[in-house]
Amino acid sequence: MELLTNVLAATVVAGTPLLLVALGELICERSGVLNLGQEGMMLMGAVAGFVAALTSGSLVVGVAAAILAGIGMSLLFAFMAVSLAANQYAAGLALTIFGTGLSAFLGAGFVGQSIDGFTRVAIPFLSDIPVLGRVLFDQDPLVYLSLMAFAGVAIFLRQTRGGLLLRAVGEDPEAANANGLNVLVLRYLAVAFGGGMAGLAGAYLSLAYTPLWTENMTAGRGWIALALVVFATWRPERVVLGAYLFGAASILHLVLQGLGWKSSTELLAMLPYVVTILMLVLLSWNPGRTRLNTPLSLGQPYRPGR
Amino acid sequence: MLLLERRPVDSSLMRWTSPLLALVLTVTTGFVLFLSMGKDPMDGLKFFFITPISDLMGLAELGLKMAPLLLCAAGLTVCYRAKLWNIGAEGHFLMGALGASIMAVWLVDADGFWVLPVVLLAGTLAGMLWAAVASGLKTHLHCNEILTTIMLNYIALNLLLYVVHGPLKDPYGFGFPQSVMFADSALLPALIPGTRLHLGLAFGLLAAVLVWVLFARSFIGFQLNVVGQDHRAAAFAGFGARRLTWFAFLVGGATAGLAGASEVTGPIGQLVPQVSPGYGYTAIIVVFLGRMHALGIVVASALLALTFIGGEMLQIAMNMPKAVTGLFQGLLLFYLLICDAFIHYRIRLKWPSRQTTIAAKTVTGDA
């Protein structure tokens, strides 16, 4: 029981960065924009968060810097993909390559340094619930933030006028435009939200998960999140489940080692990537389901007044 | 007011000046960057672009880095022409290095002219195998190739790390994760004696020629172009998209696999964990910068090879972080895509009269 609780708690921690970045990408894709630059934005968030926290001595400043860095990167993407109507695949890929290079450059002087990252803060009463209390209510503040972000995104999409407008733009930008919506502005906002969330996810890695900076520390999480959003058929609840499933896959090697299994770390480290491919294969069993749920204009640039 | 307006016809002039413009913008940014870091920008640019290739040794190093880039880019060109977004060259490359290394270690006591071809073939096939996985997932299970190839890259990297830390680890290597040195018969001969430049560059140039022949002279190249430009037209013409996908992926896997095999049998001579400084990813930039054209990718691969040795030079001469290479590559691709927008669009300087303002508003929906 003790072990199970600890494993579940570690699963939530490992799944949190994925949850954050996937929620941002979910909003972005719901507006019809596919941003493959998640990995680059996360890396920039991670390095900006770490450097800001180290130099200012404040984790909150670090988180704010990470979010701003993510937004800044996403605006570069929006300029290319939304304003200049560039190919979204190429623009996103460019953002990832650029972010990888820039983050490595900016962080070069900070490799090997460490800070005191976020620590667990138990919520009174709630954390006393058996198992669930430790798993969900005795975590670091960013985990709570990710859960609030989930609730916010779910309510926004389903219950608010803003969510309706966002979905309208993603489904049919022409019709949305005819109804007086400014498609480009809404898409900019959605992309920026995705950037902020990716930056925050990066900060989670460099300020909470492993409080240090190394090149490419995201290790493909931005790409896994992209697959996750498709797998979740663009629904927030499924994104949460998927993120924690991946969290479990990525800590499995620690669990097995804890149980006394002798297996190669490198082979087990493949697991999250293999699971991602398996997930994509599972999707192909029912292509109609994916097609029905895909925002109709996803990936297509929109030029007003063509 | 600046207006972005679609050109009636795409600008072919812009298509070829866009890479040059992107390079100018990147160098300008580099200039500002050096200034902001308190370094002499002229010195910085000289150490990055000129010093590394000012002697024969430097040119040989350039060719050494150019070989894997050009090989990977040649294969990716075939994929991207057909709009197959294969990001997996890095994985194919690593698998090629791994496959060749396993064969070379197995044949470590063998001698004869046949050893090297067998080792290279093993690498090529390993790269093709890895590409076949992505191809099968795409054609039979409709998995997005961007995501599967990225995931396969990470899996290939971990597989290589496992093998180099485990089965292939040299028992007398003082615990370092590396294989035994390959036999001389498994090593690529030098192109210029006395330098590290090896036959891999010739493979790269040959691949570029083959890409040119494929697209200028062959029916399958034509089919790949049509599939890329208009999927429906290709279907009406009866071109098998599935068959073409397999072709493109296997070519991509073969060239990148050969590149990986050439790297371990060329400059390295054994399997080590850091086989690639990201050649497979940089090759993507080469393809875009080289306009998916055979001659273009040759020039672009030389430029991007220069960013690798230029970055090392800056590290030595000016104490800059080596990551300047990645930054330069990222900037270049980024500026390239912005410039590319002006192939399809042009900027119009317009002072709209009152009436057109209203008209524009109704069209854009600002009202």
pLDDT tens string A199-232: 999 999 999 998 999 988 999 999 999 999 988 8
Query: In whole angstroms, what is the distance from residue A213 CA to residue A236 CA?
Result: 30
pLDDT tens string B212-251: 999 999 999 999 999 888 888 888 888 888 999 999 999 9
Query: In whole angstroms, what is the distance from residue B76 CA to residue A187 CA?
Result: 31
Best B76, B135, B327, B335 member to test A by mutation, with max A CBs in 10 Å, is B327
Which of B148, B154, B367 is closest, CB to CB, to A220? Answer: B154
> Chain A closest CA to B183's CA: distance in Å?
28
pLDDT of residue A102: 92
Nearest chain B residue (CA) to A80: B338
Residues from chain A contacting residue B327 (CB–CB below 8 Å): 101-102, 104-105
Which of B87, B151, B285 is closest, CB to CB, to A277? Answer: B151
* Closest to B101 measured CA to CA, from B266, B257, B265: B265
pLDDT tens string A255-296: 877 777 777 778 888 888 999 999 889 887 777 777 888 888
% of residues, chain B, pLDDT over 90? 59
Sequence-ordered alpha helix ranges (H) in chain B: 12-36, 41-45, 56-81, 89-106, 115-141, 145-165, 200-217, 219-229, 231-236, 241-263, 279-289, 294-318, 324-344, 354-364
Residues from chain A contacting residue B151 (CB–CB below 8 Å): 220, 223-224, 227, 273-274, 276-277
> Chain A closest CA to B73's CA: distance in Å?
16
pLDDT of residue A65: 96
The reply to whether B166 falls in a domain is: yes
| Residue bearing the bigger pLDDT, A265 or A23 | A23
Which of B6, B142, B161 is closest, CB to CB, to A266? Answer: B161
What range defines the domain where residue B203 resides? 40-319
Q: Please report the domains of chain A, with CATH numbers, ordered by start residue.
A: 2-115+129-293 (1.10.3470)
- Residue A186, φ and ψ in degrees, nearest 5: -65, -40
pLDDT of residue B93: 97
Best A96, A270, A271, A283 member to test B by mutation, with max B CBs in 10 Å, is A270
Query: For residue A33, what pLDDT band results from cuts at 50, 70 and 90?
Result: very high
Residues from chain A contacting residue B360 (CB–CB below 8 Å): 305
% of residues, chain A, pLDDT over 70? 99
Domain tally, chain B: 1
The reply to whether B78 falls in a domain is: yes
pLDDT < 50 stretches in chain B: 356-367
pLDDT tens string B10-60: 888 888 899 999 999 999 999 998 898 888 888 888 988 988 888 888 899
pLDDT of residue B365: 42
CATH number of the domain to which B267 belongs:
1.10.3470
The reply to whether B141 falls in a domain is: yes
Which of A91, A99, A264 is closest, CB to CB, to B166? Answer: A264
B2-6 and B345-349: which strand pairing?
antiparallel
Contact between B142 and A284 using a beta-carbon 8 Å cutoff: yes
Q: What is the 3-state secondary structure (H, E, C) of chain A?
A: CHHHHHHHHHHHHHHHHHHHHHHHHHHHHHCCCCCCCHHHHHHHHHHHHHHHHHHHCCHHHHHHHHHHHHHHHHHHHHHHHHHCCCCHHHHHHHHHHHHHHHHHHHHHHHCCCECCCCCCEECCCHHHCCCHHHHHHEECHHHHHHHHHHHHHHHHHHHCHHHHHHHHHHHCHHHHHHCCCCHHHHHHHHHHHHHHHHHHHHHHHHHHHCCECCCCCCCCHHHHHHHHHHHCCCCHHHHHHHHHHHHHHHHHHHHHHHCCCCCCHHHHHCHHHHHHHHHHHHHHCCHHHHHHHCCCCCCCCCCCCC
Q: What is the mean pLDDT of residues A171-199?
A: 92
pLDDT of residue B353: 54
pLDDT of residue B87: 93
Which of B158, B329, B364 is closest, CB to CB, to A97? Answer: B329
| Residue bearing the bigger pLDDT, A131 or B236 | B236
The reply to whether B97 falls in a domain is: yes
pLDDT of residue A305: 64
DSSP string for B237-278: TT--HHHHHHHHHHHHHHHHHHHHHHHIIIII-S--S---SS
Contact between A280 and B143 using a beta-carbon 8 Å cutoff: yes
| Residue bearing the bigger pLDDT, A36 or B344 | A36
pLDDT tens string A133-154: 888 888 899 999 999 999 999 9
Query: In whole angstroms, what is the distance from residue B285 CA to residue B323 CA?
Result: 17
| Residue bearing the bigger pLDDT, A255 or A10 | A10
Cβ pairs A/B, distance under 8 A:
148
The pLDDT mean for chain A works out to: 90
The reply to whether B24 falls in a domain is: no
